Structure 1
C-alpha cells in the first residue's frame, strides 16, 4: 500500500513539474494599467509582471531560509550528543 502511495505521489510530482502554462496574475487595476501602457507602446507592463513575480517569490524564500536554519540547528543538536557506555552510580 505504501509503495502505491509513493508511486502516485511521484507521478503527480513529475506531472506538476513537466506540465505548465504561462500565466500572469494581476489585480484588475494593474491589468488595466498594464494593457493601456502596452497599447501606447510602453514596456511598463512587462516590468509590472516581473515585479509581481519577485513579490511572489519573497515569502517562499523567507520560509525556505527559516526552514534551513531550523534544520541545521536541529541537526547540530543531535550530532553533539556524546553518550558514554559507562555504569551509572546512583548514590
Structure 2
C-alpha cells in the first residue's frame, strides 16, 4: 500500500516539476520555444540534486537503523 502511494505521489511530483516559475515564464515568453525548453531543463536539473542528496541521506539513515535493530 505504501509503495503504491509513493509511486502515485512521485508521478504527480514529476508533472509539477516541469512547470515554470513566474519570472522564468515571463523571460521565456519573449524568446523562442527552444529557449523555453532549455530553461525548463535547467530548472529541473538544478532541483534534482537536493532531492537526490536528501534521499541518499534518508536511505543511509534507514540502513543504519536497520542494522541497529538486528
**TM-score band w.r.t. shorter chain:** 0.5 to 0.7
Q: Corresponding residue for 1:35?
A: 29
Structure 1 residue 62 displacement after superposition: 1.5
CA distance in 1 between partners of 2:22 and 2:56 (Å): 28
Picking from 53, 72, 77, the partner of 2:68 is: 77
Unaligned stretches of 5+ residues in structure 2: none
Larger-Rg structure: 1
Asked which structure has the greater RCO (Cα within 8 Å, sep 6+), the reply is 2
Query: Which of 40, 43, 51 lines up with 1:52 in the alignment?
Result: 43
Q: What SS does the aligned partner of 1:37 have? A: coil
- TM-score (normalizing by structure 2): 0.62
1:15-74, Cα deviation, whole Å (9 max, x unpaired): x93x8667512232x212211111xxx612101001111222222212111000101111
Structure in which a larger fraction of residues adopt helix: 2
Q: CA RMSD in A?
A: 3.4
- In the alignment of these two chains, the number of paired residues is 66
